[in-house]
């Protein structure tokens, strides 16, 4: 790589410096707002000060990385607007520097921040999320799990073993309308067990079934049927096999996440699209820093009436539009059966890349 010249160092230093200051200001404000909302819960649940401090370090890493691309956009907008307002860009262009050469140090900075975000997203943040989410489960939302109900569970929990549960309460480990079916290698059902209620005892790892009905199908075509009010039994699966933690994807690094996706695909889990969406988001979100940097520089490199203020106002509108599309398309990717999650996750980047290219071509003129 060629050594950085004075222009490169000047722009890169100011761009990254503005980013760091902006990121710190945003995180400090976010921490103050979050703490003011949760302070009563910390006091009520007696959260230790050391754990609160650790939580906010993980909080800063999570939200700082999540909104890094938008802070990059805001930093590029602020610095370039000031650059243009002082007529420095005009002076640079008058010295024979073309627009692509002027844009180069911004891209150096954007690539550096994109690489950092990719590293954090895929390998560092999942471990941080474990501590952050555990803290929230203990001191912020300690009773929420008791109200987390998963509906219409239909999964393969083993070779030829299918279960169905209408409702499952994650915290209490109880469910209703349970069915277990066993099939042989030819796809013929050999055993069926159903009950109105099912309860899992975490201490004994046994299930209690209420109002149960059991049917075994023999090779000669006869059936062995039994029923009763209550029975305690053991199955070769636990609630973790069919009732996934809604934050499980956030706690896995990308290698572990890929293994989990394969496992859930084998089980026929309805949560697979959510996990695949998380995998694609870990790449798409960091790359948006590159796109938004080009957009911000192209938008702000011309001197305007209203100066920095008008550019920041336009930037905030574009940031709001990007955030809105990101949320909508992320939900669509995870929940909708139409289209690939890859397409929906990358769609905001594709649309804003089009806007960035249009502004870039206009700025070059």
Kindly state whether residue 256 falls inside one of the protein's structural domains. no
Both 115 and 87 in one domain: the answer is yes
Mean pLDDT of 23-34: 97
Q: Would you say residue 320 has pLDDT above 80? A: yes
Three-class secondary structure of residue 305 per DSSP: coil
- Nearest CA to 341 out of 288, 279, 289, 255 is that of 279
Both tokens of 46, joined, read: 């007696």
Kindly state whether residue 255 falls inside one of the protein's structural domains. no
Domain boundary among 201, 219, 240: 240
Both 137 and 10 in one domain: the answer is yes
Both 71 and 91 in one domain: the answer is yes
Domain boundary among 189, 222, 240: 240
Q: Residue 271: which pLDDT band, with cuts at 50, 70 and 90?
A: confident
Both 155 and 129 in one domain: the answer is no
Q: Would you say residue 115 has pLDDT above 80? A: yes
Q: Would you say residue 69 has pLDDT above 60? A: yes
Task: Give the pLDDT of residue 146.
Answer: 56
More confident residue, 3 or 60: 60
Q: Read out DSSP for 18-85?
A: HHHHHHHHHHHHHHHHHHHHHHHHHHHTT--HHHHHHHHHHHHHHHHHHTHHHHHHHHHHHHHHHHHH
CB 178 within 8 A of CB 154: no
Q: Would you say residue 251 has pLDDT above 90? A: yes
Rg of the chain on CA atoms, in Å = 27
Domain count, the chain: 2
More confident residue, 55 or 271: 55
- Nearest CA to 269 out of 233, 243, 238, 294 is that of 243
Both 122 and 153 in one domain: the answer is no
Q: Would you say residue 305 has pLDDT above 90? A: no
Residue tagged 């921040």 (tokens): 113
Kindly state whether residue 72 falls inside one of the protein's structural domains. yes
Kindly state whether residue 109 falls inside one of the protein's structural domains. yes
| pLDDT, tens digit, 9 for 90 and up, residues 177-219 | 999 999 988 888 999 999 999 999 999 999 999 999 999 988 7
- Domain span at residue 39 reads 6-142+270-364
Task: Give the pLDDT of residue 66.
Answer: 94
Q: Residue 295: which pLDDT band, with cuts at 50, 70 and 90?
A: very high
The total number of residues shown for the chain amounts to 365
Both 283 and 135 in one domain: the answer is yes
Rounded-to-integer distance, Cα 332 and Cα 328, Å? 6
- Nearest CA to 180 out of 195, 162, 165 is that of 162
Mean pLDDT of the chain: 91
**Under 8 Å CB-to-CB from 74, ≥6 apart: which residues?**
22, 296, 312, 315, 319
Of 102-116, 275-289, 310-324, 341-355, the range with the lowest mean pLDDT is 310-324
Burial class (CB in 10 A: 0-12, 13-18, 19+), 54: middle
Both 27 and 155 in one domain: the answer is no
**Cα–Cα–Cα angle for 249, 250, 252, rounded to 5 degrees:** 65
Q: Would you say residue 337 has pLDDT above 80? A: no
Task: Give the pLDDT of residue 219.
Answer: 78
Task: Give the pLDDT of residue 270.
Answer: 77
Of 13-17, 100-104, 152-156, 352-356, the range with the lowest mean pLDDT is 152-156
**Beta-carbon neighbour count of residue 218 at 10 Å?**
9
Task: Give the pLDDT of residue 364.
Answer: 80
Both 33 and 138 in one domain: the answer is yes
**Beta-carbon neighbour count of residue 257 at 10 Å?**
21
DSSP 2: P
User: Quick one: what percent of the chain has pLDDT higher than 70?
Assistant: 96
Both 322 and 354 in one domain: the answer is yes
Kindly state whether residue 185 falls inside one of the protein's structural domains. yes
Both 132 and 20 in one domain: the answer is yes
Kindly state whether residue 249 falls inside one of the protein's structural domains. no
Both 296 and 344 in one domain: the answer is yes
**Under 8 Å CB-to-CB from 328, ≥6 apart: which residues?**
none
Kindly state whether residue 207 falls inside one of the protein's structural domains. yes
Domain boundary among 193, 220, 240: 240
CB 164 within 8 A of CB 154: yes
Query: Torsion angle of alpha carbons 303, 305, 310, 314, nearest 10°?
Result: -70
Q: Residue 243: which pLDDT band, with cuts at 50, 70 and 90?
A: confident
Q: Residue 143: which pLDDT band, with cuts at 50, 70 and 90?
A: low
Of 83-87, 98-102, 119-123, 124-128, the range with the lowest mean pLDDT is 83-87
Burial class (CB in 10 A: 0-12, 13-18, 19+), 175: buried
Q: Would you say residue 1 has pLDDT above 70? A: no
Kindly state whether residue 236 falls inside one of the protein's structural domains. yes
Both 132 and 34 in one domain: the answer is yes
């Amino acid at each position: 790589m060629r050594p950085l010249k004075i222009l490169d160092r000047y722009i890169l230093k100011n761009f990254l410096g503005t980013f760091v200051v902006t990121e710190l200001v945003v995180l400090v404000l976010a921490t103050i707002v979050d703490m003011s909302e949760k302070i009563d819960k910390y006091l009520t649940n007696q959260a230790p000060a050391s754990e609160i401090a650790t939580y906010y370090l993980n909080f800063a890493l999570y939200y700082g990385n999540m909104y890094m691309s938008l802070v990059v956009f805001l930093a590029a907008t602020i610095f370039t607007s000031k650059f243009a307002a002082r007529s420095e860009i005009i002076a640079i262009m008058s010295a024979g520097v073309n627009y692509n050469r002027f844009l180069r140090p911004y891209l150096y900075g954007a690539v550096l921040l994109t690489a950092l975000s990719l590293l954090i997203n895929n390998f560092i943040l999942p471990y941080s999320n474990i501590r952050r989410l555990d803290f929230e489960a203990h001191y912020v939302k300690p009773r929420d799990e008791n109200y987390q109900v998963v509906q219409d569970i239909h999964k393969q929990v083993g070779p030829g073993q299918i279960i169905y549960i209408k409702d499952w309460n994650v915290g209490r480990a109880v469910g209703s309308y349970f069915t277990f079916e066993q099939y042989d290698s030819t796809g013929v059902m050999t055993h069926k067990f159903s009950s109105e209620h099912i309860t899992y005892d975490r201490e004994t790892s046994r299930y209690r079934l209420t109002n149960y009905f059991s049917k075994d199908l023999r090779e000669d075509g006869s059936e062995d049927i039994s029923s009763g009010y209550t029975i305690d039994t053991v199955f070769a699966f636990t609630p973790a096999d069919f009732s996934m933690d809604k934050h499980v994807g956030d706690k896995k690094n990308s290698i572990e996440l890929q293994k989990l996706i394969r496992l859930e695909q084998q089980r026929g889990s309805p949560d697979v699209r959510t996990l695949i969406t998380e995998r694609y988001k870990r790449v798409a979100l960091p790359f948006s820093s590159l796109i938004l940097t080009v957009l911000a520089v192209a938008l702000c490199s011309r001197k305007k009436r209203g100066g920095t203020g008008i550019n920041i106002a336009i930037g905030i509108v574009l940031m709001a539009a990007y955030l809105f599309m990101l949320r909508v398309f992320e939900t669509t990717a995870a929940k909708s059966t139409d289209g690939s999650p890859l397409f929906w996750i990358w769609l905001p980047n594709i649309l804003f890349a089009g806007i960035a290219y249009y502004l870039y071509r206009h700025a070059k003129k």
